[in-house]
Structure 1
Amino acid sequence: MFHPDPANLDRVKEYIADQERILKIRKKPDKCADSHKAGNDNRNETTWKSCDDTGIMGACCRHDAVIHLCNIHGTGENRALPLAILERIIKTIEPNRPIGVLYDLGCSLDKFIDLLCVHHANLTLQRRIWPESRSRLSFGTSVFHAYVHEWSCQVKYNPRYQKGWGLSDGESLERLWSSLSPLVSPLRYATRNNRLGALAHRCKFRNKKSIINL
């Protein structure tokens, strides 16, 4: 259940860095990302020095079943983590199936993938992350978090203002974290293997209940 492995995560980070080096892209400020502590990952290693692991990140399907979880180690939540999970989903499902992503910082992730830059001779270039799959990806912000974004962002990314999302609220992970909260205290001093094993068992049990309730 826990993906990706560290080698795959490093590969995604290097892939992003390669695209930026090729196109000489400069990082631009993002007000939406900067307003979220998780998205504005400016903390250094000192912040995490007393922690073996610093959290988990995941993805759930429309009916709240857990698809993938990613163990966070030595850093905060950065863009390589959701991109690594999304890459695995892209490779797993049918090549012609549309993919809708509701994420606290869905707007930032969408812009990050498609970041435009003005190159020499006024040529407009892009990062070109997953060009073969980009047309079937659509992004939105989760409903609960959408209202802290700028109004221009809400109009474009709030699923309540867009077609195609139905009543999906994008808050499956919030419900997952709530169901996992009883494990926080007993796992605080657990070994990494015991911690990940307990989380995986709990998530698998939750998935079975979710399927039964469909």
Structure 2
Amino acid sequence: ILRDRCPACFGLEEWGRPLNEGGDTHLAGDGNFHQRHQRTAGNCPAFYTPRYFLPKSTVDAMGDRIAAARKRSPRVDYVPSVPEAVADSCEKTFEAADENSEKSSRAKFDDNGVFAIVCRHDIPIAMANIDTAGEQQKYMVSLIEYVMELLPSTATVVFLYDIGCVVDRSLRKFHILPESMTARMAWNISVLHPFGHEWPCQILKNPRMQVGMGLTDGEGTERFWSRCRKLIPITRHSSRNKRIYLLDGRADTIQRSIFMSLGTWIRNRVSNASDQASNAASEIAQTGLDQVFLQRQWDQQRQAQAPLTTSKSAYAQMVHEAEALYASLNVSQAFPELQGATFEYVHTLLAARELKINIRQRAIGRFFEVSKLDQAVGGKGAALGTKLHQKTLGSIQKRGPALARAISRFNGLCDDLERLAQPEWNIPVPQKLSVKVDELKDDPNLYEDVCVSRTPAATRPPPWLINSDVRQGIRANVRLRRCREEQTRLYRECDNLIKWYHRRRRVLEATLASP
């Protein structure tokens, strides 16, 4: 079934490419709540077996499995890919993550929308009818299970979803799908949605930052819904079974249309990837920096900004070691500069140091988000519609007050240190930060740690943090690597398509030769 729908994605003869290299294939999923059905339109006798839609019983059974799994204890070996606090924040940001959010009136509509999974060529793979108030996880997970069961047992798949981090947490934390499936899948967030996520989540889930993802954008479902939009006024007033029939037929038509133009699609993407690679290489040349150096800086940035994730047992061990460390801590030996200072001063200084590190991480995440958003508005990146731009900007600004409060607390600690400091200690008091978040980007004090090091000389901030040429070079180098990965994947898809054609030709020749 899958190979006939998209031989470029599923025509592989050897499966099992590692997930950290992009996996075997990429699939994107999303729901559409415009394709709803009016309750007054009624229903008619069943007359058609859908090719793309999963049965309602299958989807509902998955919903029951998810509900039952959440009532049980989490997996003992659960290790989050994104910290719980970050995933919680992302979940609150997106309306799609609210399973109880009512997208339309249940009194007026009995079917609220459609959920679909498409391949990276925008070919529809499977669909599910949404008959609940919100975009519940059962739709995505039931489609995932359907696809994974059709694939070889060694196949690896990367799924892209606007709340991929939230679904990934559910599948890792609870016994919803077999381990044999979850071990062969990875999750990213589609390219128009990362900037509504926390920056640590973006580092781990943005496809443009992940090795092996190429230029896959995960927005194929949006293009699929665009091709189905003319059916909205028709299916809304059709009977329920006729609505499924029309949508299923439209999906089949779209599949055939894209299928016949796969060669052109691949050729255009190869040309586009080559152009982007040339532009990225030119940007790197303008910085005068070596690609090896830029990659090393990017690795250091990811390591510094990516969140720490540990299992419960590892976390307990860390807590035990931390308690032992604090019990035996000798501040005067660990920090010679603090020798002779009062306990209150040392406590305040260390608190200011930790708070400033937290402020810097959050502020840098905001800078990157706003920078990318401004590039998109200016036409340098993917174009954003007015509504999406406002929602993304709103999600960024929503986190502004929390950052401002943290800065105010830090400035208060600076006042306390100024009051407690004694000249004979010769310990530099940290400078205050601007309470205006937009002014922090050009404030060099943001990038300087509070001085509690062993040596009097302050540690110089890394180049990726303060050098604009390095930061520009990092972005260009990451883009260049994604373009090269895209070219490799496109050549592999072209090979899959040719092999599929030869297999079909041999079958046809054998059929014609038989009596």
Paired residue for 2:53?
3
Cα distance change, pair 3–183 in 1 and its aligned pair in 2 (3 A): closer
Contact map agreement 2:104 2:133 (CA 8 A) in 1: no
Aligned-partner SS, 1:70: strand
Q: Which among 75, 80, 100 is matched to residue 158 of structure 2?
A: 100
- For residue 24 of structure 1, report the CA deviation from its aligned partner: 6.6
1:178 is matched with which residue?
226
Contact 2:99 2:137 (C-alpha < 8 Å) held by counterparts: no
> Is the strand fraction higher in 1 or 2?
1
Q: Distance in 2 between matches of 1:164 and 1:49?
A: 46
SS of corresponding position for 1:147: helix
Given residue 161 of structure 1, which amino acid in structure 2 is its aligned partner?
A: M
Q: Is the 8 A contact 2:103 2:134 kept in 1?
A: no
The residue aligned with 2:186 is 138
Code of the residue aligned with 2:116 in structure 1: it is G
**Among candidates 33, 53, 73, match of residue 23 of structure 1:** 73
Structure 1 spans left out of the alignment, 5+ residues: 116-125
- Give the superposed CA RMSD: 2.2
Decide which of 129, 134, 142 is 1:71's aligned counterpart.
Answer: 129
Alignment identity in percent?
A: 28
**Residue correspondence of structure 1 range 142-157 to structure 2 within 5 A:** 142-157=190-205
For each residue in 1:161-209, what CA deviation from the matched residue of structure 2 results, as whole angstroms up to 9, or x when unmatched?
0012111100010001111111112222111122111111111111111
Q: Structure 1 residue runs of 4+, over 3 Å off?
A: 43-47, 126-129
How do 1:50-129 and structure 2 match up within 5 A?
A: 50-115=108-173, 126-127=174-175, 129=177
Superposed, 1:31-42 pairs within 5 Å as: 31-42=89-100
Structure richer in helix, relative to its length:
2
Q: How many residues align?
A: 203
Measure, in 2, the Cα distance between the counterparts of 1:37 and 1:128.
23
Q: 2:215 aligns with which of 164, 167, 186?
A: 167
Read off the aligned partner of 2:53 and give its amino acid letter: H
Q: Distance in 2 between matches of 1:177 and 1:58?
A: 9
Partners of 1:45 and 1:74 within 8 A in 2: no
CA distance in structure 2 between the aligned counterparts of 1:24 and 1:176, rounded to whole angstroms: 36
Per-residue CA distance 1:95-138 (angstroms, 9 max, x = gap): 101011011111111111112xxxxxxxxxx5463212222101
Give the CA deviation at 1:76. 1.7
**Separation of aligned partners in 2, 1:169 and 1:46:** 28
Give the whole-Å Cα distance in 2 for the aligned partners of 1:3 and 1:154. 32
Query: Gaps (5+ residues) in structure 2?
Result: 1-50, 76-83, 263-515
Letter in 1 for 2:212: G
Q: CA offsets, 1:21-73, max 9 Å, x none?
A: 33179x99722122222221223699422102100001001211100010011
- Report whether the alignment pairs 1:197 with 2:255: no
The answer as to whether partners of 1:103 and 1:140 remain within 8 angstroms in 2 is yes
| 2:101 alignment partner in structure 1 | 43
In structure 1, how many angstroms separate the alpha carbons of the residues matched to 2:165 and 2:131? Answer: 25
TM-score normalised according to structure 2 size: 0.37
